[in-house]
Structure 1
């Protein structure tokens, strides 16, 4: 049987205020056509379907139409919530989506209560088991472990052990006559960040080693890290990556979907299929004269400009007028001067809230792990898009 693995669509994502919904529509049409052309049995979407927990009506319309088009062609569709998605809303629409042949999972559940989706591949008749694990924050992992694995994990134990307990329950439903797949949205230890992930839910407390995935799995379809990569493990563990560059930190990523072929008795064969509908993000450096000398040469690329000369009054307007696809202007640090860069960013690394809070604690002489833990908990509650179970 054949299936397509994709993730991290982030539909509704804007970039420096630029609406990208039309671009995202082209990308999803391309992914859908790849699935149809390759006559896949199932499409697995491993989380972060939307950019945020309250997607616009237009963003939801685009996703729903994409899913329905896949289902209309007889393709099984299975998707899970990522940390950007609103898990409770996914669960609310689950009964309706099931009728359409679209299987949505917002929250983790035991194998006995639907945590493993089982079907027969239309092309071969082979049974397929897909263990689904939507994103779990550190706090909700404890609750999930208690509900699913019946373990007395009362706020103790490492995050990876809690995930192990959940996966042990789910993969206990795997059978030797089937193609057994795990789909999860999480950070695997050793994985390389793509550049646009949400740092608060990708830090060390959220890492799990690839050893959590059992050798019985024919394939592990991961979402969350935006870079296409394979994680060394006893079974094939893959991130498909995002199908387009989410932010300028991802401008050099290769955007693909993974076409996977597997049988119950043979290893999975993975083929990367490029996704080319997304607009390229490009950082270019030079003086104003150099940057604006050949506007047509940039094509439709979105630009981040790094200016290698001192700022002058009206420079920002000159650049945006000459280069309408420029989304950000930075002054190279060698040419930055006090008071000369109003409205223009200086090229400096952006710190995460966790790093900023650590800097603040250091500045006021506070060194207390309990304070740090409380901040992380509060930050998780604010950035966590899933309603409390």
Structure 2
């Protein structure tokens, strides 16, 4: 059978105040075009369809239209990520199931609820364990169906995930003629972050080894990390990456989807299919003179200015580079000084502000004068 694996759409993401709905729409149109050309038997969307749990109507329209277009091409399995509203996704299941669109928003206390089965048009049976994002807070609560000892109840997040997957696989991965799949939204030990993920949900306490996945799995389709990569395991363990760079930390991540060809008795073959990059995210560095000689193109820019801070510097950069969304001073220009000085209680606000500017490498008379004027006005 052939599988198209995608994840981390993050529709609704605003980059430094700049809406990107048109870019997100174009990226998903590219995913649909790949699906139309590849004609997969199954499409897996491994979480983070939205960038927020309260998406705007526009973001919902983009996502649901994309799912509707994909559903016309193949059966779909969708799980919620840490950015999604799991209960809201589950609420749509009553409408979606009749359309070959399988949604799983929350981890259920019924293991069988996370098993999705099907048969390809060519007659190949498949089984897919669909595991939405599970926070540490609810990991033990999701395992209430087990009779846990005191030690087991206080075991690690990885132990809980492993026990949950084993419980589902024990009753479902029993047909030797079926292709066994797992899709989950989590962090695997040894994986490289893409640069735009939510830090609290990628720290070590959330990382699990690839050994948590059942040994008779043929392919593991992951979401959560935005860089496309394959990790070692009993079978290919794969992050498809995001179809659109989410933040400037991901400017070096080429957007793609993953095509997988798997059978019940052979190793799955994984192929990365690049997507058009659209408008790029770029970082430019240099002095004002150097920046003036660079070609910004049509890209969104992060600009690191190699000059001492001063009043009006940001405005100069913005005028020179209208697509600069993030302007910052090179840290090398911000040498912190700690001269001996009297206690703060003995000094005026104007003097304290002058010290602050000096400490930050921003010893600019115009800024100091403006502060003095403002201070005199309010006092």
In the superposition, the TM-score normalised over structure 2's length comes to 0.85
Q: Would you say 1:338 and 2:351 are equivalent positions?
A: no
Alpha-carbon spacing, 1:140–1:216, altered in 2? closer, same or farther (3 Å): same
Match of 2:62 in 1: 62
Match of 1:118 in 2: 117
Separation (CA, whole Å) in 1 of partners of 2:256 and 2:39: 17
Shift of 1:321: 2.1
Find the residue that maps to 2:53 and give its secondary structure. coil
Are 1:15 and 1:247, in contact at CA under 8 Å, matched by a contact in 2?
A: yes
Aligned-residue Cα RMSD (Å) equals 2.0
Separation (CA, whole Å) in 2 of partners of 1:109 and 1:103: 15
Q: For 1:292-326, what per-residue CA distance to the aligned partner results, in whole angstroms no more than 9, with x for missing partners?
A: 234xx322211111111223432212221221211
Deviates more, 1:104-113 or 1:85-94: 104-113
Match of 2:135 in 1: 137
Match of 2:305 in 1: 307
Separation (CA, whole Å) in 1 of partners of 2:147 and 2:112: 14
Shift of 1:44: 0.3
Shift of 1:101: 2.1
Shift of 1:78: 0.8
Alpha-carbon spacing, 1:54–1:125, altered in 2? closer, same or farther (3 Å): same
Separation (CA, whole Å) in 1 of partners of 2:290 and 2:112: 62
Are 2:254 and 2:277, in contact at CA under 8 Å, matched by a contact in 1?
A: no
Q: Would you say 1:90 and 2:115 are equivalent positions?
A: no
Shift of 1:120: 0.8
Give the counterpart of 1:326 among 321, 324, 327. 324
Alpha-carbon spacing, 1:41–1:342, altered in 2? closer, same or farther (3 Å): farther
Paired residues for 1:44-193 under 5 Å = 44-73=44-73, 75-109=74-108, 113-122=112-121, 124-147=122-145, 149=146, 151=148, 155-172=153-170, 173-174=172-173, 175-193=175-193
Deviates more, 1:244-253 or 1:83-92: 244-253
Find the residue that maps to 2:92 and give its secondary structure. helix
Structure 2 runs not aligned, ≥5 long: 335-360, 368-379
Are 2:111 and 2:164, in contact at CA under 8 Å, matched by a contact in 1?
A: no
Shift of 1:214: 2.2
Shift of 1:111: 6.8
Find the residue that maps to 2:49 and give its secondary structure. coil
Q: Would you say 1:241 and 2:241 are equivalent positions?
A: yes
Separation (CA, whole Å) in 1 of partners of 2:111 and 2:286: 60
Structure 1 runs not aligned, ≥5 long: 344-389
Match of 1:29 in 2: 29
Alpha-carbon spacing, 1:112–1:155, altered in 2? closer, same or farther (3 Å): closer
Shift of 1:271: 0.4
Find the residue that maps to 1:44 and give its secondary structure. strand
In the superposition, the TM-score normalised over structure 1's length comes to 0.83
Separation (CA, whole Å) in 2 of partners of 1:278 and 1:110: 42
Separation (CA, whole Å) in 1 of partners of 2:364 and 2:127: 61
Shift of 1:85: 0.6
Are 2:111 and 2:167, in contact at CA under 8 Å, matched by a contact in 1?
A: no
